[in-house]
Amino acid sequence: MYAICELNQIPNRRAASFVLARQHDDGQARPWLIFVVRWGKHVLGYENNCPHEGVPLDWERGQFLDGEGLRIQCGKHGALFDLGTGECVAGPCLGRGLTPVQLIVDDEGDICVTGVVLAEDDDFDSGCGVE
């Protein structure tokens, strides 16, 4: 379990991006781009990778939500994704979905990534990407 950010660093109903280093089975560490949406005391995490063209969703850093703040929107061609499931509900990747990231908020109020092995690597940018 890896703490990546304090819950309170992400404003309610906003999202933040992170560049982490994930350790793979072949022993290599590679950049792992994820984002976290905060909804009150709850958080939702997905890989920052649009299933349409495999590019990051936030063409403006930290901008992941549509104008109403109710769905995730890709900045490139505007695909919309359900906030809770990551499923594409409109746009060119209809029927496909974002890859979920397991998160928990611990007793200290830190957002933590679980279910993966992360590498310590100073070459990768990290930290709370809220603009």
Q: Which of residues 12-41 bind ligand FES (CB under 6 A)?
A: none
Selected from 19, 62, 87, 92, the binder of ligand FES by CB under 6 A is 92
Contact string (CB under 6 A) for ligand FES, positions 51-70, x = contact: -xx-x---------------
Selected from 7, 74, 103, 111, the binder of ligand FES by CB under 6 A is 74
Shortest Å, Cβ 58 to ligand FES:
11
Q: Which of 52, 29, 38, 48 is nearest to 10 (CA)?
A: 38
Which residues contribute to the site for ligand FES (CB under 6 A)? Answer: 50, 52-53, 55, 74, 76-77, 79, 91-92
